[in-house]
Structure 1
Amino acid sequence: MIQEKRLVAEFIELVQIDSETGSEQEISAVLKRKFSELGLAVEEDDSAARTGHGSGNLFCLLPASAQGKAPKLLFTSHMDTVKPGRGIKPQIGDDGYIRSDGTTILGSDDKAGLAAMLEAIRVLKEQGIPHGQIQFVITAGEEAGLKGSRAMDPQRLDADFGFALDSNGKIGDIAVAAPTQAKIHITFRGRSAHAGVNPEDGISAISVAGRAVAAMKLGRIDKETTANIGRFSGGIEGATNIVVERADLEGEARSLVQEKLDRQVEAMRQTCEAAAREAGAQVDFHSEIIYPAFKFDESAPVVALASRALRASGCTPRLFHSGGGSDANMFNGYGVPTVNLAIGYLDIHTTQERIAVKDLVKTAEIVVNIVREAARASE
């Protein structure tokens, strides 16, 4: 069914196209051509004007092959990669894994998903497999904080069920839940003074911030909630003789439950305010929801459809809750029930990244079987 050589060749072609996040223009042009040549209607939205990235999001529509009641499907992957992702030199090892030469990432996150989509479309056409409408949404800026999907117009989405091809894990794993995330920016303002002459006249913003962070409950809050301070800065390089007036912190909180997230963020805010008040300093605390949570169980139609397709592909479905966000979070927030399917890539975002050829093939097969099962269910 899946033509392995063709699929691998296309994957190798895609990963050699430089597309570090923010510089998606070249891969976008190639993808528009490829989807158009397969007979799909392709549109690029205007989100690049808002995100500053090299491309907008691509919306590629494959009309239903015949009249029927098959649900409308959506498959999504992103076109950008992390750094270092320029000059990738892929190679297939004797162990059946595709890797870079070790100086860059490979880019299977998420060009494995893109290659699987393209191969699945070819198989559907070549074998005349009946299908309902299928929308392929290729996002830009996913690696920069879901910028493309966050900037898209939800009205462009037209699907009953969505499937992101963008999760780590073994083939068969289905991310049926992922948390909402709040980005947190904190600025402490103290009072400057000479550290050697009159330090008692100063209020060190660094000291105040340090006390606040030490008093916060961070890390694993409970099984559904986490929090972290990821950046702490203040002072002037080399100027150790100044009591620091300003310190800036960046952090986050995540939870599968919005109420728990709200409580965690509020606890962090109150801790910062208490530390500032005690020291006679000031604090500005700002939090922003970056993406919403989603959560399904095995009875959800989107999960049941994915599970049937996985079994048809010889895989055992395994449902799990992810601790990270993806475009699936945004599509769920836009009203399209979407799960994230594991596609087998390993050690992503590192120069040891790799993917097995057999998993690349299996991912394309699963896409075809999702389409088959959706059509069968409507008969």
Structure 2
Amino acid sequence: MINEERILNLFMNMVRIGSPSLEEKNMAVFLRGLMEQKGYEIHEDCAGDFCGGNTGNLVVRIPGTCKGTPIAFSAHMDCVPPCMGVEPVVADGRVCSAGETVLGGDDKAGIAMMIEAMAHIEEEGIAHPDVYFIFSICEEAGMHGAKNLDSSLLPLKDVVILDASGVPGCVVVEAPAKAVIRMVFKGKASHAGIVPEAGICAIRIAAEAVSAMKLLRIDEKTTANLGKIEGGGATNIVTDTVTLTAEARSSRDELLQDQIEHMRSCCAAAAEKFGGEYVFESAISYPSLHVPDDSPMLRRIELCCNRLGLEFRCIPTGGGSDANVLYGRGYSAVTLGIGMTKVHTCDEYIELKSLTDCAALVAEIIKG
């Protein structure tokens, strides 16, 4: 049986450790201490050096007690703000924050589940192959930990990521690629009171472009959103430069490219209309994720769910995770729903039952 008291105490201790993206060192120190107590093999890579973080990813190897294919479980150490000074509260069968911060179940619940599952396996003396834990950095700010993971520390194919909404038993099999987009509109400065007709207003160019763009929900697979607009100054000067930052996502690469080109063409038409100029830049931040129907890992998880009485469901998601990056790097990556709810808000919570059910599922996956 999963030890509910132990996993709850571990989870609550971890969420009290502030660990915003790029500042996960205190969390890494805590986890290193736990892993050292258990005598596991611990490595820290240089991922933090590549993205300005204060620690790297931790990769932990737990030597197998029998022959078998090694498997890895992954969860990220960072949390979205506000995540400093978290005070967890237990009430009505769930854990939430006192209300001034996020809880941090995204993704410290996943970490707690991995650790408790392994503790259960060892207490019961259950034979297992080599098991790896990945405690990654900077997932919330661009998956920089996964992007810069030292793959030489991970000599295997199968990675199970614990980092999705949905009750235990849900498995994410489709997730979109994301493009980051920067649009710069250039007009011509002029005195707005004396010779406004000599100016070209970059704000008007931007407004024209945006008004023509398809945004938010584009279709079943595709979304696009404007995140920030910057530019302008004094009201007596015709604004000559405006910058917009945006994103587009789709689980179908061709649809993503169509959306990017649509947004580019809107910028071009607006600049031409007002006699200005534009710069349009886009880059794929991470690839789409598609787990094939005949994936052996999916079948393995389905059998484990059946043994535990959990409903097995394959689901798509509109968000990205370390799974997208690891999948793109050639790993067989699947993401488990871990029951975290209202993530990225101060109303975030997780059911105690989700903590124990998912830990039990991880233990069952380890058994094979």
Q: Secondary structure at the match of 1:142?
A: coil
**In the TM superposition, what is the alpha-carbon distance from 1:139 to its structure 2 partner?**
0.6
Code of the aligned partner of 1:33: G
String of CA shifts for 1:65-116, please: whole Å, max 9, x gaps: 12x3x322111000011111111111211x1111111111111111111111
- Alpha-carbon separation, structure 1, partners of 2:111 and 2:362: 11
String of CA shifts for 1:33-55, please: whole Å, max 9, x gaps: 11222222111111111111221
String of CA shifts for 1:158-217, please: whole Å, max 9, x gaps: 222111111011222111110111000111110001111111100111100110111112
- Alpha-carbon separation, structure 2, partners of 1:301 and 1:160: 12
Instruction: Please list every run of 5 or more consecutive structure 1 residues that lacks an aligned counterpart in the other structure.
Output: 374-379
Matched, 1:262 2:257: yes
**In the TM superposition, what is the alpha-carbon distance from 1:132 to its structure 2 partner?**
1.4
Match of 2:268 among 273, 278, 285: 273
Matched, 1:347 2:345: no
**In the TM superposition, what is the alpha-carbon distance from 1:297 to its structure 2 partner?**
4.2
Q: Give the corresponding residue for 1:305.
A: 300
Code of the aligned partner of 2:256: L
- Alpha-carbon separation, structure 1, partners of 2:215 and 2:175: 19
TM norm structure 2: 0.97
- Alpha-carbon separation, structure 1, partners of 2:239 and 2:13: 52
- Alpha-carbon separation, structure 2, partners of 1:158 and 1:178: 25
Matched, 1:179 2:171: no
- Alpha-carbon separation, structure 2, partners of 1:198 and 1:156: 65
Q: Give the corresponding residue for 1:41.
A: 41
String of CA shifts for 1:112-162, please: whole Å, max 9, x gaps: 111111111111111121211211111111111212112223343322211
Code of the aligned partner of 1:244: T
Q: Secondary structure at the match of 1:143?
A: coil
Q: Give the corresponding residue for 2:319.
A: 324
Code of the aligned partner of 2:137: A
- Alpha-carbon separation, structure 2, partners of 1:309 and 1:201: 71
- 8 A Cα contact 2:137 2:144, kept in partner: yes
Structure 1 residues 298, 311: closer, same or farther in 2, change over 3 A? farther
Matched, 1:84 2:82: yes
TM norm structure 1: 0.94
Q: Give the corresponding residue for 2:58.
A: 58
String of CA shifts for 1:216-258, please: whole Å, max 9, x gaps: 122222211111222122102xx11111000000111111111
Code of the aligned partner of 1:309: C
**In the TM superposition, what is the alpha-carbon distance from 1:353 to its structure 2 partner?**
1.1
Q: Give the corresponding residue for 1:377.
A: none
Code of the aligned partner of 2:274: A
- 8 A Cα contact 1:2 1:365, kept in partner: yes
Pairing of 1:1-379 with structure 2 (within 5 A): 1-66=1-66, 68=67, 70-93=68-91, 95-236=92-233, 239-373=234-368
- Alpha-carbon separation, structure 1, partners of 2:49 and 2:216: 36
- 8 A Cα contact 1:135 1:158, kept in partner: no
- Alpha-carbon separation, structure 1, partners of 2:292 and 2:146: 24
Number of residue-to-residue matches in the alignment: 368
Instruction: Please list every run of 5 or more consecutive structure 2 residues that lacks an aligned counterpart in the other structure.
Output: none
- 8 A Cα contact 1:15 1:107, kept in partner: yes
- Alpha-carbon separation, structure 2, partners of 1:108 and 1:19: 12
- Alpha-carbon separation, structure 2, partners of 1:100 and 1:149: 28
Q: Secondary structure at the match of 1:324?
A: coil
Q: Secondary structure at the match of 1:303?
A: helix
Code of the aligned partner of 2:144: K
Q: Secondary structure at the match of 1:194?
A: coil
- Alpha-carbon separation, structure 1, partners of 2:316 and 2:144: 23
Q: Secondary structure at the match of 1:243?
A: coil
- Alpha-carbon separation, structure 1, partners of 2:159 and 2:305: 15
String of CA shifts for 1:312-365, please: whole Å, max 9, x gaps: 221111111110000000110111111111111111111111111111011110
- Alpha-carbon separation, structure 1, partners of 2:85 and 2:159: 32
**In the TM superposition, what is the alpha-carbon distance from 1:296 to its structure 2 partner?**
2.0
- 8 A Cα contact 1:184 1:286, kept in partner: yes
- 8 A Cα contact 1:38 1:121, kept in partner: no
- 8 A Cα contact 1:232 1:247, kept in partner: yes
**In the TM superposition, what is the alpha-carbon distance from 1:299 to its structure 2 partner?**
2.3
